Amino acid sequence: MYRLILLAMAFILFVAHGAAYGQDAAPLSGELLTLEQAIALAVRNNHSVKIAKLGVGKAEDELAATRTYRRPSMHFYTLFSQQLVKQSSNISNPLSAVLPGLGPFFTISVPRRPTAIFGGQVLQPLSQQYRIGLNIELAKVSIEERQEEVRLREQTTVDDVKRSYYGILQSQSALDSLQEAIKLYRELDRVTADYVAQKVSLKSDSLEVKTRLAKAEYEALNLTNQLATEKEQLNKPARP
């Protein structure tokens, strides 16, 4: 009975020490992912952040297009013309009917020569400069609004990652402590069962240890499921 009491006291001290150590160390199972790495992955691959950045690019393109309206517009045009059919007139000889073989006096023809006309005009929207300036300022405000939306979504993503990351650390620390407690409870259950068989301890002591062991295993199962859910939530912001 005295040995059972000493083992129980050692167990309580070990669990308390493990819980305090877990709050400081809080190791993650598997490969360690730092908070900075998790934030960088989430911000880089977050779908809503990508959409917001595309909105910034679109607003910048609209600003560039609006600024072009202040510049003069230049138009050039060219006209070409040429006769498709050769025009000619024959002056007939009145004696050709009397004397066969006589041709016309002469032939008048106009040569086919191409004609080209070049022109151009430059237009400057002087009366629209004030309205165009207002549109440019409106486009700048739109860019700032989109950039602020990007910062907001990035900050929201960072807050979600931090919340999930620290939740995982806390759950993992508690799970590690429970797993150590389960090992000690099982050993204590074995020792208590031997003492009961030797009639050194009461059967109620063995039942109490079994109850605590079952409770610890149940809590460990719940923490395992909770940890899996938290890891899935941490993985969601990193999905494209």
Instruction: Report the C-alpha dihedral over residues 166, 172, 173, 174, rounded to 10 degrees.
Output: 110
Q: Considering 59, 89, 123, which residue would you say is the last residue of a domain?
A: 123
* pLDDT for 160: 85
Q: Which domain holds residue 31?
A: 2-71+127-238
Residues 177 and 229 in one domain: yes
* pLDDT for 91: 59
Contact 240, 185 (CB under 8 A): no
Q: How far apart are CA 60 and CA 139, in angstroms?
A: 8
According to DSSP, residue 30 is labeled S
Residues 11 and 44 in one domain: yes
Reference 63, options 142, 127, 146, 130; nearest CA is: 142
The residue-averaged pLDDT of 170-185 equals 89
Residues 49 and 12 in one domain: yes
Residues 79 and 110 in one domain: yes
Residues 84 and 65 in one domain: no
Domain count, the chain: 2
> Percentage of the chain surpassing pLDDT 70?
72
Q: Specify the length of the chain in residues.
A: 240
Mean per-residue pLDDT over the chain, rounded? 76
Reported as a single tens digit per residue, the pLDDT across 46-59 is: 888 889 999 999 99
Q: How far apart are CA 74 and CA 95, in angstroms?
A: 63
List of residues 6+ apart from 186 with CB closer than 8 A: 213
Q: What H or E segment, with its residue span, contains residue 81?
A: strand 73-81
Q: How far apart are CA 106 and CA 112, in angstroms?
A: 19
Residues 102 and 89 in one domain: yes
Question: Hey, what amino acid is at 230?
Answer: E
List of residues 6+ apart from 170 with CB closer than 8 A: 26
pLDDT tops 60 at residue 149 = yes
pTM of the model: 0.52
Residues 198 and 234 in one domain: yes
Rg (CA), the chain: 46
Residues 212 and 112 in one domain: no
Residues 88 and 44 in one domain: no
Return the higher-pLDDT residue of 112 and 160: 160
Q: Considering 123, 141, 165, which residue would you say is the last residue of a domain?
A: 123
Residues 220 and 152 in one domain: yes
Reference 105, options 116, 119, 91, 126; nearest CA is: 91
Residues 209 and 231 in one domain: yes
Residues 100 and 48 in one domain: no
* pLDDT for 85: 65
